[in-house]
Structures are given as C-alpha cells and as structure tokens.
Structure 1
C-alpha cells in the first residue's frame, strides 16, 4: 500500500446534531476528514470522561491526514454539559453513551451528508468504532462486552 502524506488539507465541521431520544442535551458531533481522497474509511471516536468532540485534535487530525473520516460525539458526561459525579443522571450515563454510538451509526449517512463533498467519498462498508478510556469501555459495551461478577452474573 502506498504511503499517504500527512500534510493533507483537512476539513472539520461542527456542531452537527444527531437525532436521539431520552437525552437531556442534544447529541452533537464533529466530523474531520481530508479534503481529497476516495473510499475513506470511517472512524467513530468515543471520548473519555468529561471530554468532548473538541478533544484529541492531534490524534483525530493524524487519522484524517492518513485518509479517514472521523466522527466525534460529545457524550452527556462532557464538562460542557455540567453533569458531575454527584448528578443523579451520572450513574446511568454509560447507557446514554452506548445509545449515542447507536444513534451515530443509525444516522451516519445523514451526518456525513452535512459535510460538503464527503458522502460520495466515504466508504460506509468500512467503519471502525474506537475510544479512549471511558470511550473504550463504551465501545466495548456497544460491541457486546459485558461486566460480570465472580458468579458470572452481569
């Protein structure tokens, strides 16, 4: 496979709102992609606790420069939503995070349609879901990982 220059021009579009239900704040995402290239694989990146769609810029820009379209949500636990550990909603935010990723996948075409020129260049058959810290746990849970106690009970 030929190498990809990492000095490519990028485009980032935000905030894009994703339809959801049962969420106390709108689900917003940021899309970052190279301005050129075809058949771009898609990465959905779930942030760690308290971060947002605006974090991880060096990593996301590197992925985009390498030829990926990257979608970053702002989960409900983001600092910008002001839901602290003492908030009654915090105990179930992990479920909302998983629902966020489902919503992004369900509306991926609509999300990418909002970035000029990207829909025809994105490869909807090559989608990776990744995350950092709590985002990695969210991704694992979305893909079927379950936490069990010593007796094997979820």
Structure 2
C-alpha cells in the first residue's frame, strides 16, 4: 500500500521545500472542504533542527549535539539494510526472518514505519488510494463533514 514510498519520503523529507513533515490543512478534501493536506507547512527553526537531527543525525554539528551525538534515521536505514543483505528479497522466508531477528532494533523500526506508511494519511506517501483504510473499514479523516451520532455510537 505504499509503505516503502512513505519511508522514502520520510528519509528524504528535506529534499523538498517545505519539507514533507507536516501536511497542511485544515481538510484533506476527501469529504468536502478545500484540499489542503497536500500542501506541507514550513517548519519553525526549532522544528527544523529537531527533524533534521532525527532524520539526518547530528553529523558532528554542535547545534545538533546538545544532548550528545545522534544517529539519524538515514544512517540507521543504511546500516540496517546493509545488515539484511542485498539478496534479502531473493532468500526464502525463513532466512529473511533469521536476518531480521539478527537486527531487532532495525526490525522494530521497520515495523513501526511500515504501519505508519500503510495506515497513515496518504499525503505522506503511503496508504496509496486509501486502500488500507478501505480494508479496515476506516473512513479516514471526515472533516468538515464529521461523524453522525449513529457513526459515533456504532449504531450504523
């Protein structure tokens, strides 16, 4: 459902301006209102510092190392994917499981990001055509329409 595209967009968030961190709004346009989610909002100076540190790591820069060195998500993915091996997609499922189990922290991160990319808002690159939402019968963001009393109470 596009989880890999979501992860790619997250790791490359600062390749575009404004960065693909916070989708705009107030509405997606899926249930009325002007679609604003596809326009990403500029970050404040502090938000940019925090997100660059999270994604790119501290890279020896003093302003990013006030709490010590930080390994960014880009490096975590480079190292994790290297540990899985270039032939990861070609080996059988048992071997894939063995390799994933050998890198538990990376396996956890992959799972977290796969869930975000599969079930998150499509504006972030995953959940293509809202297919995951359809599969779990989630209507997605329904503003400005909102939910009816029946939908909230489960009497639909």
User: Which TM-score applies when normalising by structure 2?
Assistant: 0.23
User: Which TM-score applies when normalising by structure 1?
Assistant: 0.24
Which structure has the highest strand share of the two?
1
Q: Of the two, which has the highest radius of gyration? A: 2
